[in-house]
Structure 1
Amino acid sequence: MTSPSPGDREKVVSKLPSVLQQDLKIRAAQHNVDIQHAVEAGIRAWRRLGSNLSSVDTAGAKSFATFLPDGQWEEFRTDCASRGVSLIQGLAQSVVMWLETNPAPTAVRPEHPKRIITCNQKGGVGKTAIAAGTGEALAEDADALHPVRISKHFAAALFGGEESSSLDHEDLPGLGLRVLLVDFDPQCHLTKQLGHQPLPIEGDSLTKHMAGEAMGRLADLVVPVEDPRFGDRLHLLPACTDAFLLDVKLSAVRAREAALERALSAIEGDYDAVIIDCPPSLGLSMDAAAYYGRRRQGEAPGNSGVLVVVQAEDSSADAYGLLTSQIEDLRNDMHLELDYLGIVVNHYDARRGYIATSSLSSWMDIKDPRVVGVIGDLKEQKEAVRVKQPLLAYSPRCDQAVGMRALAREIS
């Protein structure tokens, strides 16, 4: 069955098993091609075959529509009849052929692991939520589709006062990266929010490894963040309350700025991205985190760096000024190439009126670093924290999750 459509294509309606429809949708997205072009290529390849492929189970096939070049469907219908197969069977074989000749791409492993330093001297801005959400989005299954906010539309929608449901979304494959979340905050919020216990103070910890007091292998402290959508790609290095003593311990360590890098060097090679959830501090621990995020020799600009989390209110601007001053001092004193990955405006709610909207506008006016994400102040994040689950597992289609995926792609 066909019907007219604009341009040089006609709408085609047939049937296809649900599993094949889903596989086709995911694989086409992975290869960044339209479904219609994938089906067109599959039919073209099937028609060139000298014999039929093995029969495909089409039981329970459901309605399937696409657009094909004018005339291709009628020619395909004739070929199916001459080969003695039904139209549905021929279409299924064509789709299977395209899937087999266009396998899922493997994740590209970076030469340098991406190091994301989420920070701000001000507490309560949601650094932990941004660190966790970004890591979860980077680690999501690449063989499944997930809703992603189309970033070019979010600012217009927010400034226009539209509801979050009006923002444009697109279903895209997950990024499928191996991610390590490092809880670098003695308050242990990231550890607890993901359902784990802080490391016992009498045992081994990241602090002890940084201070030269390691009791074992750092890898033995790492735990998985378990959910099928992350596979075994998302891991956590839990915090310990002994991190309250880190600045004091670092004051006696030689080359203390490199202490975090020395500690993590034993395990960072196992990951594509390492995300540091920093404490609200401008002390020696922040120096060590910023140094870890510097651009290494041969590393592309913007692969690693500082991700500043703020809110749409005045105190965040004051804290931002203190943080950027510290980063500039580090850059100058140690001759570091330390990049900003951008600014994330978190907990945004236009209903708070002029203070929120004007503050967001002020953040948007900063062009270097620029705003790379705006995350709404909605209930799902708070609920996920209460039940100690990752946000993208607890509510994968909520607006905050959709925004986290856009943020991850913006800085990846």
Structure 2
Amino acid sequence: MVAKKIIFSNQKGGVGKTTTAVNLGAYLAQKGSKVLLIDLDSQGNMSSAVSADPKKLGSYDVIVGKCTVSEAYQSTPVENLYAIPGGIDLAGLSVELVNELAREFFLKNALASINNEWDYILIDCPPSLGLVTINAMCWAEYVIIPMQCEYFAMEGLNLLMRTIGNVKKQLNPHLEILGILFTMYTSRTRLANDVVDDVTAYFSDKVFQTKIPRNVRLSEAPSHGLPINLYDASSAGAQGYENLAEEVIARV
């Protein structure tokens, strides 16, 4: 097997990026795939959402060559789902790399040997378009862009699209947008529906049909260290991410 390499990116925080990485990974694993989650955010929220221990070796250690991937990944409560935690060390990584030769490719080089060990490798990027995120884009095949249905999200989307286009042109010709995912969606508000209509009109086939609803159970699950398929599989949020998993499988 050759891993499908997917990153979750949006420079705006609080858009459901980590929630999407965790729960898509959980449903892909539940469907029988061997999945590795890698947390590149210094806040480490992805790690805690799957009960990974941030005190152990993490993504920072892998990137700077202190350990291998096989030494860093941990099991999670979901069978077939494994995670490499993030942590505070990542906060200064961009500064550490800035004067290095081929600084955009540290992550790609660190992960080069593991492509045949996993069905999917999913990376949760920090909420910025800095050097850590650029490293992830230089490694990835696909980008999933979670976004909320609000006015300012549109402005951020244009900047993100330009960045992805520049990386594709100059550094990674294989990079593709797998899809734009609407999160925290409430069909009752006119603004939400206007944003969906505008983005869909402009990006058409790049928009996932699945919309992740605003859902209390989704918000609660990380505090229990569980993905939504284990915390409340009957919730609307769980159904949303199961549907997303089906769409992703069909697209890759």
Q: TM-score range by the shorter chain?
A: over 0.9
The answer as to whether partners of 1:363 and 1:371 remain within 8 angstroms in 2 is no
Q: Which residue of 1 aligns with 2:63?
A: 210
Pair 1:328 & 2:165 matched: yes
Which of these residues, 40, 50, 65, is aligned with residue 184 of structure 1? Answer: 40
The separation in 2 between residues aligned to 1:265 and 1:283, in whole angstroms, is: 22
Q: Which residue does 2:247 correspond to in 1?
A: 410
Paired residues of 2:137 and 2:172 also in contact (CA < 8 A): no
Question: 2: distance between equivalents of 1:266 and 1:184?
Answer: 19
Indicate if the aligned counterparts of 1:343 and 1:372 stay in contact, CA closer than 8 A.
no
Q: Is the 8 A contact 2:22 2:49 kept in 1?
A: no
- TM-score (structure 1 length as normaliser): 0.58
Deviates more, 1:252-261 or 1:129-138: 252-261
**Residue 345, structure 1, aligned to residue 182, structure 2:** yes
The within-5 A match list for 1:325-404 is: 325-334=162-171, 336-351=173-188, 353-365=189-201, 366-404=203-241
| Matched residue SS, 1:116 | strand
| 2:14 is the counterpart of 1:118 | no
5 Å-filtered alignment, 1:100-115, equals 110=1, 112-115=2-5
Deviations 1:65-106 (A, max 9, x none): xxxxxxxxxxxxxxxxxxxxxxxxxxxxxxxxxxxxxxxxxx
CA offsets 1:181-205 (integer angstroms, 9 cap, x no match): 11111110101122233236xxx43
- Paired residue for 1:220, among 62, 71, 78? 71
Per-residue deviation, 1:372: 4.2
Structure 1's unaligned 5+ residue stretches are 1-109, 141-174, 295-304
Match of 1:275 in 2: 122
Q: Which has the higher contact order (CA 8 A, sep 6+)?
A: 2
Question: 1:109-158, CA deviations, whole angstroms, 9 ceiling, x for partnerless residues?
Answer: x4x21111111010000100000111011011xxxxxxxxxxxxxxxxxx
Q: Distance in 2 between matches of 1:392 and 1:221?
A: 25
User: What SS does structure 1 have at the residue aligned with 2:33?
Assistant: coil
Measured in 1, the distance between the counterparts of 2:13 and 2:226 equals 22
> Which residue of the partner structure matches residue 289 of structure 1?
136
Counterparts of 1:196 and 1:276, CA distance in 2:
15
Letter in 2 for 1:385: P
Identity %: 29
Opposite residue 38 of structure 2, the aligned amino acid is V
Tell me the alpha carbon deviations over residues 345-389 of structure 1, each in whole angstroms, 9 at most, x when there is no partner: 0000123x2111211222222215223421000111112122221
Report the 3-state secondary structure (helix = DSSP H, G, I; strand = E; otherwise coil) of the residue aligned with 2:229.
Answer: helix
Q: CA deviation at 1:401?
A: 1.1
1:314 is aligned to: 151
CA contact (8 A) 1:211 1:249 kept: no
Counterparts of 1:52-131 in structure 2, within 5 Å, are 110=1, 112-131=2-21
Distance in 2 (alpha carbons) for counterparts of 1:310 and 1:348: 10
Give the greater-gyration-radius structure (CA): 1
**CA pair 283-404 structure 1, distance change in 2 beyond 3 A:** same
C-alpha contact (below 8 Å) 1:119/1:277 kept by paired residues: yes
Distance 1:236 1:306 in 2: 19
Q: Report SS of the residue matched to 1:270.
A: coil
| 3-state DSSP of counterpart to 1:269 | coil
What one-letter code is carried by the residue in structure 2 that aligns with 1:135?
G
Is the Cα–Cα contact under 8 Å of residues 376 and 399 in structure 1 kept in the other structure? Answer: yes
* Partners of 2:52 and 2:83 within 8 A in 1: no
Q: Secondary structure at the match of 2:13?
A: coil
